[in-house]
Amino acid sequence: MSSLKIQDLHVRIGEKEIIRGLTLEIPKGEVHAIMGPNGSGKSTLSKAIGGHPDYTITSGDVLLDGVSILGMEPDERARQGLFLAFQYPMEIPGVSNANFLRAALNSRQSEGEEIEAVDFYEHLYEEMDKLEMRREFTSRAVNEGFSGGEKKRNEILQMAMLKPKYAILDETDSGLDIDALKIVSAGVNAQRGPNIGCLVITHYQRLLDYIVPDVVHVMVDGRIVRNGPKELALELEEKGYDFIKDALAEPVSA
Amino acid sequence: MSTVLLEEEMTDTPAAPARLLSAGPAAPGQEAAWEQFTKIPLPTRTDERWRFANVKDLDLSPYLQPQPVDETTREELLARSRGLEKAAGRMVFANDQLLSREVLSESLTRLGVVWLPLEQALVEYPDLLQQYFMREEAILGGQKFAALHASQVRTGMLLFVPRGIEIDLPVEAFHWLHGANSSCFPHTLIIAEERAKVTVVDYYESADTNAPGLACAVNDLWLGAGAQVTYVCAQNWSREALAFQINATVVGRDAQARSLFAQLGGRHVRSESVSHLRGPGGRSDMLALTVADNAQEVDARTFQIHEAPNTSSDLLYKNSLDDAARTIFSGLIRVDPGAQMTDAYQKVRNLLLSDDAEANSAPGLEIEADNVRCTHGATSGQIEQEELFYLMSRGISKRAAQKLIVNGFLQEVIERLDQPEIGARLAEMVQAKFAAHR
């Protein structure tokens, strides 16, 4: 029951079907990776699960600990314990990172209650230190003028502060140099444990050297075509996606 | 100070208030202004300077001359006059009566700073008033209302800062409008001599947030060479008020003026702001933020007049519009023939939160010098769906996310003030307006 379960999901953008019957289950405590070539629908999957209004789910279901989240607004899904780390985090001019995070945490409090400012900053600074983020990031506008690496660190900081049950990390390695990649990966690894399930979406195997998955899924044309242990990622790296595409038999389910 | 006189007046039983339009001038000496007011017709739809404005809204017949408030109201309004934690001085007016004047820094008087209610200044410093009181004509369409103000003004704040004196803390004034259909005529006159420095905050408030009323304010800033003046006007009249604000800022050599108009209240607000860059090297930053909702109309007209070379002006007006609110921005930059090396900038941003809201922008340039840089632009847009989704994906409700984004949008204006305490107070007022909405 404690899992993020995606059942035979079909997703359209406009008239075009992008996800075409995808099934996947991430039990709490595990890290799964989805690898796939560009255009396979990886990012669509994360946005659709998050509840982005541009993505229409035509059939299938997404269950968070056994409860369907498809009828929920994006904010409600988040409060149920879902977290998306964005490939391209948005810049929000004029809204400080600290105010943004406080608003996010306050949204999880019961009506009329707010988190204590002192506790908040203590917690925030502790998590920022882990990600080697300077204090000035609290007063800077959300992601505005941040470098690629700073934006990704900021995503992981939010994840650490919000303590989700399930996190989907969409191309977290894109735009990162090796040092930033190590810091971000360490940030994710520090959060691994029995209380969280992670789905790491990536095009390259490189990230999986640092965030070592329990299971690897290969996605092609909106479906999972292969499941395997972490070594599968290495095989893909070596042989390329064409090898999978060529050998593509019937779609499999996880 | 005329405290004794004031209390006597307030214990009198007030006579039935006269209708403004049949009242005549407030006092001897104001007849000429009254005559001018009655002679100038109300603006019409075809008047270019009132383009886009809902001129039907300008009927002045319902409004009454201001009446003194009773002792209970006085106490209540004084208690509600919450300004900044630290101020150099604070005057509180209600219905054009001085309720209190707190001098927190006596030493300033010894340095020659004059800080008086207008009626007292008129007696003690007639030359100052002769030289500066409403000396710049209203040129953006509000002549009738400037004349009305001149014929009715009874009090207000005069602040004279002599050469080289810097007042570190802001000076504040509260103007309260009390009673249904009451009127008031707030006046602020700031004269900063050479290298003087001061910040002034005016708060315009209504005792009852639903009472209809009329406010017709004038604020003039005079900056001598190298002076630095920051002026903030936090307008929060009742949501049924008709309000006019007429501002003239005269910037001398190498002086720096910075003004911010926060438009929160009012049913129909007309704001006219003119910066005269009169001395070489002068600079004026003209800022405004508007939070308009329901059927509010906020009509802002601005004029950046570069009269001398090497002057700069930088205007940033931001409007947030919800429901069926309307805003108008009409701003002109003029560069006189001799004003070479002028650097003028004008930027207007409208954020529309509703399909029924309407933002009108009409920027304009009149350039008669050849070596200048003038840039202007106006844009309107809605909240970006991707921004909203990003905030919501963190658990923040749609409404809270919208508020965060609007606050962030307005924050740029507040930051340009570069006065964190005042900025925090303004942000609080914006929050209160959001909280009262819906």
Number of neighbours of residue A230 by Cβ within 10 angstroms: 16
Rounded CA gap, B158 and B155, in Å?
9
Chain A: give the shortest CA distance to residue B390, in Å.
7
C-alpha count within 13 angstroms, C-beta hemisphere, residue B38: 13
Rounded CA gap, B163 and B246, in Å?
27
The CATH T-level fold of domain A3-90+164-246 is Rossmann fold (3.40.50)
Q: Is A38 exposed, middle or buried (0-12, 13-18, 19+ CB in 10 A)?
A: exposed
- State the pLDDT at residue A253: 56
Rounded CA gap, A79 and B37, in Å?
61
- State the pLDDT at residue A249: 53
Amino acid at A59: S
- State the pLDDT at residue B2: 39
Rounded CA gap, A191 and A156, in Å?
9
Do the Cβ atoms of B88 and B168 come closer than 8 Å?
yes
Q: Is A141 on the interface with B (CB under 8 A)?
A: yes
Query: How does pLDDT run along chain B (438 residues), one tens digit per residue?
Result: 334 444 444 444 556 788 999 989 999 999 999 999 999 999 999 999 999 999 999 999 999 999 999 999 999 999 999 999 999 999 999 999 999 999 867 789 999 999 999 999 999 999 999 999 999 999 999 999 999 999 999 999 999 999 999 999 999 999 999 999 999 999 999 999 999 999 999 999 999 999 999 999 999 999 999 999 999 999 999 999 999 999 999 999 999 999 999 999 999 999 999 999 999 999 999 999 999 999 999 999 999 999 999 999 999 999 999 999 999 999 999 999 999 999 999 999 999 999 999 999 999 999 999 999 999 999 999 999 999 999 999 999 999 999 999 999 999 999 999 999 999 999 999 999 998 886
Question: Chain A residues with CB inside 8 Å of B397's CB?
Answer: 75, 107
User: In this complex, do A75 and B411 lie within 8 Å of one another by their Cβ atoms?
Assistant: no
Rounded CA gap, B19 and A181, in Å?
74
Closest CA to B281 of B309, B300, B248: B309
Rounded CA gap, A83 and B108, in Å?
57
Do the Cβ atoms of A225 and A219 come closer than 8 Å?
yes
φ/ψ of B414, rounded to 5, equals: -60, -40
Closest CA to B415 of A140, A91, A159, A8: A140
β-bridge pairing A141-142 and B228-236: unpaired
pLDDT one-digit tens code per residue, A83-122: 999 999 999 999 999 999 999 999 999 888 889 999 999 9
C-alpha count within 13 angstroms, C-beta hemisphere, residue B386: 7
Rounded CA gap, B109 and B200, in Å?
16
Whole-number average pLDDT of chain A = 92
- State the pLDDT at residue B366: 94
* Sheet with B228-236, side-by-side order of all strands: B97-103, B89-94, B171-177, B197-206, B228-236, B256-263, B283-292, B312-321, B343-352, B373-382
* One-letter-per-residue 3-state SS of B50-84: HCCCCHHHHCCCCCECCCCCCHHHHHHHHHHCCCC
Q: How many CB pairs below 8 Å do chains A and B form together?
A: 82
- The residues facing B7 across adjacent strands are none
φ/ψ of B3, rounded to 5, equals: -60, -45
User: In this complex, do A92 and B387 lie within 8 Å of one another by their Cβ atoms?
Assistant: yes
User: In this complex, do A73 and B398 lie within 8 Å of one another by their Cβ atoms?
Assistant: yes
Closest CA to B329 of B294, B354, B358: B358
- State the pLDDT at residue A251: 54
- State the pLDDT at residue B3: 40
- State the pLDDT at residue A137: 94
- CA angle B339-B341-B346, nearest 5°? 90
Per residue in B413-432, is it b (16+ CB within 10 Å) or e — as a string?
bbebbebebbbebbbebbee
Nearest to A90 among B386, B396, B411 (CB): B386
Q: State both tokens at B425.
A: 């107070």
- The residues facing B257 across adjacent strands are B229, B284
Domain ranges of chain A: 3-90+164-246
Q: Is A71 exposed, middle or buried (0-12, 13-18, 19+ CB in 10 A)?
A: exposed
- State the pLDDT at residue B430: 95
Interface of B with A in 263-292 (CB under 8 A): none
Rounded CA gap, A61 and A67, in Å?
10
Question: Chain B residues with CB inside 8 Å of A104's CB?
Answer: 394-396
- State the pLDDT at residue A248: 64
Q: State both tokens at B19.
A: 């209708």
Chain A: give the shortest CA distance to residue B435, in Å.
13
Interface pTM (ipTM) of the complex?
0.95
Do the Cβ atoms of B327 and B292 come closer than 8 Å?
yes
User: In this complex, do B395 and A75 lie within 8 Å of one another by their Cβ atoms?
Assistant: yes
Ramachandran region of residue A120, left (φ > 0), alpha (ψ -120 to 50) or beta? alpha
Number of neighbours of residue B55 by Cβ within 10 angstroms: 16
Closest CA to B57 of B291, B293, B244: B244
Q: Is B124 exposed, middle or buried (0-12, 13-18, 19+ CB in 10 A)?
A: exposed
Test the A interface: residue of B291, B320, B394, B430 with most A CBs within 10 Å: B394
User: In this complex, do B395 and A99 lie within 8 Å of one another by their Cβ atoms?
Assistant: no
Number of neighbours of residue B104 by Cβ within 10 angstroms: 13
Rounded CA gap, B14 and A67, in Å?
69
Helices of type H across B156-204: none
- State the pLDDT at residue B10: 47
Torsion of the alpha carbons at B86, B229, B100 and B414, rounded to the nearest 10: -60
Test the A interface: residue of B379, B388, B392, B399 with most A CBs within 10 Å: B392
Question: Chain A residues with CB inside 8 Å of B407's CB?
Answer: 94-95
Do the Cβ atoms of B298 and B292 come closer than 8 Å?
yes
* Sheet with A223-228, side-by-side order of all strands: A82-85, A166-170, A197-202, A31-35, A215-220, A223-228
* Element (DSSP H or E) covering residue B335: strand B326-335
Task: Give the dihedral sign, CA B395/B400/B405/B407.
Answer: negative
Average pLDDT over every residue of A8-36 = 95
Q: Which residue of A has its CA nearest to B404?
A: A95
Q: Is A90 on the interface with B (CB under 8 A)?
A: yes
β-bridge pairing B171-177 and B197-206: parallel
In order of A27, A103, B314, B415, B429, the CA distances from B260 in angstroms are: 55, 28, 12, 11, 14
